[in-house]
Amino acid sequence: MRKCVTLLVQIDEDLQKGASISQSMTQRGVWRNRLNLIQGAYSRHTPASIKQLQHLAFEADCAAKGFRKGNPWHTLDQLIVLLARGAHTDKLANRPRRV
C-alpha cells in the first residue's frame, strides 16, 4: 500500500515540474498493464488528498510497529477508502447508482 501511495506522490512531484503523466510513469517504472490503473488513481486525487494518503500510510505503519497508539487496521481502512474514492467524492455522490 505504501508503495502505491509513494508512487502517487512521486508522479505528483513530476507533474509539478512539468513532466507529463505518461513520462512520469515510464520514468518510475510503472508496468504497461498498470498504466491505466495508476493514471485513474492519480486522476481521482488532488495534491492535498495525496498528502493525506501519505499521512495515513505513515500513521498505519507507526501503529503497526508500536511507535504510536491506535489500531493500524482502522487506519488502513481509512487509507483504502480514500485511495479508492479519491478527493472528488462530491462527484460520486451525484452520480446515478447502478442496480
pLDDT band at residue 97 using 50, 70 and 90 as cut-offs: very low
pLDDT digits (tens, 9 = 90+) for 49-61: 999 999 999 999 9
Q: Residue 50 falls within a domain, yes or no?
A: yes
Range of the domain at 46: 2-94
| DSSP three-state, residue 71 | coil
Numbers of helices and strands, H then E, in the chain: 6, 0
Please tell me the total count of domains within the chain.
1
Q: Residue 45 falls within a domain, yes or no?
A: yes
pLDDT band at residue 88 using 50, 70 and 90 as cut-offs: low
pTM, two decimals, is 0.78
Q: Residue 99 falls within a domain, yes or no?
A: no
pLDDT at residue 93, as a whole number = 42
Let me know: does 87 contact 45? Beta carbons within 8 Å: yes
Q: Residue 51 falls within a domain, yes or no?
A: yes
pLDDT digits (tens, 9 = 90+) for 7-38: 999 999 999 999 999 999 999 999 999 999 99
Let me know: does 12 contact 42? Beta carbons within 8 Å: yes
What is the pLDDT of the chain when averaged over all its residues?
A: 87
pLDDT at residue 95, as a whole number = 43
